[in-house]
Structure 1
Amino acid sequence: MTENMILIPDSESLVPDEVAARIGDVVSEVTGAVVARDWQRWAVSVGETNLLYFDGGYARAHGYRDIVCPPLYLQYAILGVTPISELRVDGSSGAASGNLVFPLCPKRMAGGENTTFFGPGYDGDVVTSVRVVDSVEEKRGRSGRFVLVTWKTIYTNQNDEVLAEATTSMIARP
């Protein structure tokens, strides 16, 4: 056992009752505009050069009405900005996660993300994301007990068309 390891009796749940009660709750609802100039800057910054994002003629020739937003940019288009001084110790703002608190599990890490895309975002679209706590489970792995939290997020445009659905998870450990 390492000296920094916290020993918690198996009889004590790592999931506080107030967190378990939040399953099914909407923890974040954010709306923002998708702007071509912004997604093009983002695309360039991550090395994305797909002409669908830059060239209207190319996009129309491939069945779109105009240039489209890179699918993974959707979530960045509508996220707010948190000053560094206001970030939590785990590096996040906590806003999109519902600020779930696990007093016995202060260590956090991303558990994964799976996104399914259904339609493109276009310049000027107004996108809303709604994030719900899908599950909170205590588990046991090779290195001990942990909590797995899963959120479901649905992205819709101003016409209520679903553009994407995402499942995101986080691991909290003692």
Structure 2
Amino acid sequence: MIATMAILAVVMTVTSMMLWTATSGFSAGSMSDQLHTDASMSLERIVREFRGIPRKPASFAPDITSVTSTAITWNTNSTLTLTGTNLMLRELGGPSRLLLADVSSLSLRCYDESNTALPTSLAGSSCDAVRRISITLTLRRSGVLETARTKVFIRSLTPGA
């Protein structure tokens, strides 16, 4: 009788460890999937905004006021900014709106027409050389990290635009 109970205890312990591992794996996979979806949807919105950055009047330069590794201002009063763990978007001087939460890092990097990286901090006329912008987002939720990245070409700078 004692031997049977000992065998059952061992079997139940092994079974419970397998169930715990499977449940933990499913939970982490589900969270990673949700983070990826959130990051992809936000990147899609950012891409649309960046592609729509207008040209400066009478110039072949984008209407970008300033860029840092975590913020960009364009079209005089539109901004994308990382504030704490929130990615905030302000359009045409309106109120800032939450675009994405749980952002552990944002990296904006600008490139010129020959795809050479520009300095990480640009302001004023130094923004005139910007032709492409790369965006890298890292999200962290419940101990799960997910990173998404893309590179955007500013459409208003396309010949004939």
More helix by share: 2
With a CA cutoff of 8 Å and minimum separation of 6, indicate the structure with the bigger relative contact order.
1
Structure showing greater radius of gyration is 2
TM-score (norm 1): 0.33
TM-score (norm 2): 0.34
